[in-house]
Amino acid sequence: MYEFTWFFIGAVCFKMLSALMGVGASINYLRTIQLHAVLLLSAAAEDISFIKRVKHTTLEESDFSKAQIELFKEADQEMFNNWKQSAISKMNASLPHKLRASLALESWDETLNILDSAYGKNKTRR
């Protein structure tokens, strides 16, 4: 009976440690996936910024007044900020429920911090 008790305790400890290590491995795997998703989002954000810049340059060269151009710029910036927040929300919604608390992002700046920590300080802020 004494040996069975120790066997049972060992089995329980093994089960708990393997579950804990499984969660840790899942978090590391999802952090890698999250980094690649953030890279994709940042590339899309760069493309959107470039398109905005081309649009604003074209507007300045056209017959629009300065006030109209400023309205376009404000609307574009608001839509861009909404897109960034929507992208973060959708990425958070796609996380597994059990791991959401440890991987969820709060803001676009936190997303850029992931890139900074992966590739060196302040590479994403220009």
126 residues of the chain, pLDDT tens digit each: 888 898 888 888 989 998 888 878 888 888 888 888 899 999 999 999 999 999 999 998 988 889 999 999 999 999 999 999 999 999 888 888 877 887 888 889 988 888 888 887 655 555
Q: What is the pLDDT of residue 7?
A: 87
Q: Which domain holds residue 75?
A: 2-119
Q: What is the pLDDT of residue 70?
A: 93
Give the whole-angstrom CA distance, residue 42 versus residue 49: 10
CA dihedral sign, ordered 111, 121, 26, 19: negative
Rg (alpha carbons) of the chain, rounded to whole number: 24
Q: What is the pLDDT of residue 121?
A: 63
Whether 126 maps to a domain, the answer reads: no
Whether 98 maps to a domain, the answer reads: yes
Instruction: State the total domains in the chain.
Output: 1
Whether 124 maps to a domain, the answer reads: no
Alpha carbons within 13 angstroms on the beta-carbon side of residue 122 total: 1
Whether 109 maps to a domain, the answer reads: yes
Q: What is the pLDDT of residue 124?
A: 53
Per the CB < 8 A criterion, the answer to whether 41 and 111 are in contact is yes
Whether 63 maps to a domain, the answer reads: yes
Looking at the chain, list the stretches that DSSP marks H as alpha helix, in order from N- to C-terminal side: 2-61, 66-93, 100-103, 108-119
Give the whole-angstrom CA distance, residue 94 versus residue 53: 31
